[in-house]
Structure 1
């Protein structure tokens, strides 16, 4: 399947990778990048947002053929609403939009030490990331985040150009493709205390990580156990009081059973 789409001087096609094509295997720049990405996916899964036909990935190759040359970018996090299934024995190593499923809906990049890497508009090979997501993949929502500077920016594709949008009063951004808000939350996960990216639903409820859900359930179960124990103790106190009163009545020559 080849879809032709001229974009100015670009000819973009969506073609299967050759069997002998070697995907780039660049290491992440720091240990925090995969942790940030995993936390985003974990919260979606724990809240039941992830469906079998979705594709959510991290440091995973997105592929396009530009002017007859294969171009691959591996964003820190991305979301595709619907992809075609692959046989169970096949492991997906890359994703080509339009050929294997929907266009990529959301891409996130965590800012690196490379000057302008994630915001580069370089329009010649090697294409800048912003240019590639904007002009080649045409991703509707592009997120860039610097956890150290606590800087979050969200761009929406409007008339083939990214437009920087403002956060709401809570400092969060609406991500229409997921119908969720995205914002910064400072706290601990997996013994790492930092500025995490987190999701909130339309009503402002924080989507919990799976560990937070488990802890919440543990606390709820403990509260139920304590309530049950209090009820047991109350019942035991009532029984002891009734036994005491019955014993007093018998001392007075009154049969307590005859009073019932």
Structure 2
């Protein structure tokens, strides 16, 4: 068990980091819309296809992050969480939750997606069971807290500075630099999984969009079509050259010249 002392000005009871027992009953919070898991999966998908996910990382959605405050176990399940490095599990064991410090690094980034009925993403309730904002800021001390409003396409990024979250301003492209991943995060309007709307996307340092699998398939289809067209144009050029040579040979024969002797 690892014990970390709270800030002197913080009235919190002692915070400890104890891995949950395997039979600990986790809260069963239903996903409020089918868009939330799709948003989370899309963020992971592009990272995975870009080869940016390492075995030592933990990237999960709607997954319990735990801390013990005084004698109470607190569990919050962000819509998306990124932990740079976690301790490997014994063979055959499945990770049901994650306790920072006891099981690896603390999360570098958490995201919450606002649904039609707000779920306390801005709550600073400093008492049990604690608001999400307060839990991420004061208990877990997560460096980056992202809040996304998919219905209206509004993205907020809050950085932990001197113990408090400060809202960041986007760059000239409307994107936010996420240092932990070395990528920009921004809003993209379009269609995925038959849903038209606002999505969160990653861009690299050069401003290149990290594609989804469906986009890579489309890119490959277009490349194959371009190659087919190039081959067809080459075939047509060869056929035209052959026809031209045949006409020239015919003309030479009409003049009494054997083209094979030229």
TM bucket, shorter chain: over 0.9
Matched, 1:159 2:162: yes
Matched, 1:95 2:95: no
- Between the aligned partners of 2:139 and 2:248, the Cα distance in structure 1 is 86
Counterpart in the other structure of 1:15: 18
Matched, 1:242 2:245: yes
Are residues 189 and 116 of structure 1, via their aligned partners in 2, closer, same or farther at CA, if it must alter by over 3 Å? closer
- Between the aligned partners of 2:63 and 2:257, the Cα distance in structure 1 is 85
1:87-140 residue CA offsets vs partner (Å, 9 max, x unmatched) = 452221111111222110000001235557001111111110000001111110
- Between the aligned partners of 1:254 and 1:246, the Cα distance in structure 2 is 9
Structure 1 stretches lacking a partner, 5+ long: none
- Between the aligned partners of 2:90 and 2:119, the Cα distance in structure 1 is 39
Counterpart in the other structure of 2:5: 5
Counterpart in the other structure of 1:194: 197
- Between the aligned partners of 1:248 and 1:114, the Cα distance in structure 2 is 83
Matched, 1:71 2:71: no
Matches of residues 198-213 of structure 1 in structure 2 within 5 Å? 198-213=201-216
The two structures, once aligned, show a CA RMSD in angstroms of 1.6
- Between the aligned partners of 1:209 and 1:215, the Cα distance in structure 2 is 10
Counterpart in the other structure of 2:36: 33
1:232 to 232, 235, 240: 235
- Between the aligned partners of 1:188 and 1:88, the Cα distance in structure 2 is 39
> Secondary structure of 1:10's match?
coil
Asked if the contact 1:112–1:118 (Cα under 8 Å) also holds between the matched residues in 2, the reply is no
1:127-180 residue CA offsets vs partner (Å, 9 max, x unmatched) = 100000011111100001111132211100011111111111221111111111
- Between the aligned partners of 1:43 and 1:102, the Cα distance in structure 2 is 23
- Between the aligned partners of 1:257 and 1:123, the Cα distance in structure 2 is 97
Q: TM-score, normalised by structure 2?
A: 0.93
Q: CA deviation at 1:6?
A: 2.6
Matched, 1:129 2:132: yes
Aligned residue pairs, count:
259
- Between the aligned partners of 1:128 and 1:94, the Cα distance in structure 2 is 19
Are residues 253 and 113 of structure 1, via their aligned partners in 2, closer, same or farther at CA, if it must alter by over 3 Å? closer
Matches of residues 31-70 of structure 1 in structure 2 within 5 Å? 31-70=34-73
> Secondary structure of 2:3's match?
coil
Matched, 1:85 2:109: no
- Between the aligned partners of 1:229 and 1:160, the Cα distance in structure 2 is 64
Question: Any runs of at least 4 consecutive aligned residues in structure 1 with deviations exceeding 4 A, and if so which?
Answer: 113-116
1:31-60 residue CA offsets vs partner (Å, 9 max, x unmatched) = 111111111111211222212221111001
Q: CA deviation at 1:244?
A: 2.1
Q: CA deviation at 1:207?
A: 1.4
> Secondary structure of 1:221's match?
helix
